[in-house]
Amino acid sequence: MEKYLVKPKNKINLSQIDPNDTSTFDGDKNSAKNKLKELNNKIARLQEILFAQNKHKLLVILQAMDTAGKDGVIKDVFEGVNPQGVKVANFKRPTEEELSHDYLWRVHKQTPGKGEIVIFNRSHYEDVLVVRVHNLASKEKWEKRYQHINEFEKLLTDEGTTIVKFFLHIDKHEQKERLQSRLDDTTKHWKFNLGDLKERELWDEYMKAYEDALNKTSTDFAPWYVIPSNKKWYRNLIVAEIIVDALTKMKLEYPKSEEDLSGVEIK
Ligand code: AMP
Ligand code: MG
């Protein structure tokens, strides 16, 4: 999955990364779905051990333009996990109270505890994305945030959290199709916001803001992956593989009982 990693020393250019890429998988869409099932099972098995061991913590960060699949990844990649040990944190427009604190205040509270997986559906990165594109803070302010974010994520990883960050990469044409299909289907209207059309007009500004964020905050301890996401099946497969990899690297083990259970007889 190295292919989609943003290497700290190699700056990426989003316009050169093909959102239609499916090159690391040989089979067709159907075999991809079977493969995803296998990965779902693996994630579920590993998550059970993570929860039982109550030692490691996993933070998954999802960022993307509207319709690129943040909700889809949460539903399709994490299918089958035990909800006891997994939480989703959604970051919407900050409340008055949140705005009266620093921008990491609301974020830090949501990070995983021992044995937990937390998925961020949007994140502190909004504070260098939407905030930058809409001038919600001065340049002088948001420019300092890349460093804050790196230091915040270093703190989390030093204290035992594994962090993986995904940018789900679609192109503007694909977004048009997806917005259109939401518009055409009344059961999808709940997902359609007129405001999304305004954001769409700012596509190029967003791409620039994303590119900067990815280049300035992909670190050895909290790497970014740019996931080609025009094909949902491929997006799911690659994200699932990276999650399996992150969990496997933890060398998870079921905990041993602290009591001597040998010779215990149940009457
Ligand atoms: P959604 O995730 O589609 O439900 O929309 C949430 C909205 O909240 C998006 O338009 C985000 O850009 C916006 N949002 C999230 N975090 C922030 C933030 N820190 N400042 C301003 N807007 C934000
Ligand atoms: Mg939305």
Quick: pLDDT tens for 8-24.
Answer: 999 999 999 999 999 99
Residue 238 has pLDDT above 90, yes or no: yes
Question: What is the residue with the minimal CA distance to atom 23 of ligand 1?
Answer: 93
Considering the segment(s) 2-248 as one domain, its CATH architecture is 3-Layer(aba) Sandwich (3.40)
> For 240-264, what is the mean pLDDT?
96
pLDDT in tens, 45-69: 999 999 999 999 999 999 999 999 9
Side by side, the strands of the sheet bearing 57-64 are 86-90, 117-121, 57-64, 161-169, 224-228
Please state the atom number of ligand 1 nearest to the C-alpha of residue 199. Answer: 10
Measure the CA dihedral 136/142/146/151, to 10°. Answer: -100
Tokens for 123, please give them. Answer: 């994140």
CA dihedral for 94, 100, 104, 110, sign (positive or negative): negative
Whether the CB-CB separation of 66 and 108 falls below 8 Å is answered with: no
Q: Pseudo-torsion of CA 32, 37, 43, 47, nearest 10°? A: 160
Residue for token digits 């083990």?
253
- Cα separation, 64 vs 169, in Å, equals 7
Instruction: Give the E-state strand segments of the chain in sequence order.
Output: 57-64, 86-90, 117-121, 161-169, 224-228
Give me ligand 2 centre to Cα 155, in Å: 30
Domain ranges of the chain: 2-248
CB-based contact 182:189 (threshold 8 Å): yes
Instruction: Give the whole-number percent of the chain exceeding pLDDT 90.
Output: 98
> What is the value of pTM for the model shown?
0.97
Contact partners, residue 7, CB within 8 Å, separation at least 6: 218
Q: Quick check: 47 and 82 in contact, CB under 8 A?
A: yes
CA of 235 to the centre of ligand 2 (A): 19
CA 192 to ligand 2 centroid distance, Å: 7
